[in-house]
A and B are shown apart, each in its own frame.
Chain A
Amino acid sequence: MEQLVPEKAKISPFLVFFLVHTMQFGVGVLGYQRIIAMTAGYDAWISVLFAGLSIHIIVWMMYKILETTEGDIITAQSFVFGNKIGKLLSVPFVIYFLLIADTILRTYIEVIQVWMFQDMSTFWYSLAFCVLAIYIIFGGFRTVTGVAFFGVVLPAYLLFSFFFTIPYADIKNLQPIFDHSIKDLVMASYHMSLTYLGYEILLFFYPYIKDPQKSKKWAHLGVLFTTFLYTSLTLLTFAYFSEGQLQKSIWATLTMWKIVEMPFVERFEYIGIANWNIVILPNFCIALWCASRILKRVTKIKQKHGVILTSLIVLITINLFKSRVQINTLIDYTGKIAFYINYGYIPLLFFLVLIVKKVKKK
Chain B
Amino acid sequence: MIKNVFVILMVFTVLIGCVQKEILDDVNLESGSAYDYVDGKIKGTALVPIYLPNKEVQNKTFSASSNLSRDFLRDVQRQSSDPLVTGSLKVVLFGESLAKENGILDLIDSFQRDPSIGAGLYLATAKGEAKDILEGQYGKRGNAIYLSNLIRHNMKNKDIPKTNLHRFLFDFNQLGKTPYLPELRKISKDQIEISGISFFRYGHVVDTIPASKMFYFKLLVDKYSRGTLKVTHKKERAAIESIRSKYKMQLSTRKPFTVNVKLKVNAILNEYSGKRVTPKDIKEIEKILQKNIEKECTLLTNRFQKKNIDPVGYGHFVKSKTRKFNFEKWKTDYPHLKVNIKANVMITESGVIE
Contacts and interface: CB of A to CB of B under 8 A. Distances in A.
A247 B18 CA distance: 33
Interface in A89-136: 114-121, 124-125, 127-128, 131-132, 134-135
Given A131-B8, A138-B4, A120 B170 contact: no
Interface residues on B, range: 35 or more
Interface residues on A, range: 35 or more
A269 interface: yes
Contacts, number: 93
Contacts of A247: 173
A119 B20 CA distance: 7
Contacts of A138: 1, 4
A245 B118 contact: no
A115 to B, nearest CB: 5
B29 to A, nearest CB: 10
A259 B1 CA distance: 44
B170 A172 contact: no
Contact of B19 (A120, A175, A241): A120
Nearest to A134: B4
A305 to B, nearest CB: 15
Contact of A255 (B8, B119, B175): B119
B19 A258 contact: no
A127 B340 CA distance: 66
B175 A244 contact: yes
Contact of B324 (A124, A132, A179): A179
Interface string B298-341: 00000000000000010011001111100000000000000000
B8 A132 contact: yes
Nearest to B165: A258
Given A132-B8, A259-B166, A176 B320 contact: yes
Contacts of A176: 320-323
Interface in B139-174: 166-167, 169-174
Contacts of B20: 117-119
Given A124-B18, A168-B166, A267-B87, A243 B173 contact: yes
A39 interface: no
A168 B18 contact: no
B147 to A, nearest CB: 17
Contacts of B317: 172
B63 to A, nearest CB: 25
A319 to B, nearest CB: 16
Contacts of A175: 320-321
A51 B15 CA distance: 41
B47 to A, nearest CB: 17
A301 B252 CA distance: 73
Contact of B174 (A117, A168, A242): A242
A266 interface: yes
B224 to A, nearest CB: 10
A176 B251 CA distance: 13
A124 B12 CA distance: 9
Contacts of B112: 248
Given A175-B321, A176-B323, A242-B170, A259 B4 contact: no
A248 B173 contact: yes
A261 interface: yes
Contact of A259 (B7, B118, B313): B118
B354 to A, nearest CB: 38
Interface in B95-137: 112, 115-120
Given A168-B166, A242-B169, A259-B120, 18 more contacts: A119-B20, A124-B18, A128-B8, A168-B170, A172-B313, A172-B317, A242-B173, A243-B174, A243-B175, A245-B169, A245-B172, A245-B173, A247-B173, A255-B119, A259-B118, A259-B166, A266-B87, A267-B118
13 contacts: A115-B115, A128-B11, A135-B4, A135-B5, A172-B317, A172-B320, A175-B320, A242-B170, A244-B175, A247-B173, A248-B173, A259-B120, A266-B118
10 residue pairs, one from A and one from B, having the closest CB atoms: A244-B173, A242-B174, A175-B320, A258-B119, A245-B173, A117-B19, A172-B320, A259-B119, A115-B115, A242-B173
Interface of B: 1, 4-5, 7-8, 11-12, 14-15, 18-20, 87-88, 112, 115-120, 166-167, 169-175, 177, 313, 316-317, 320-324
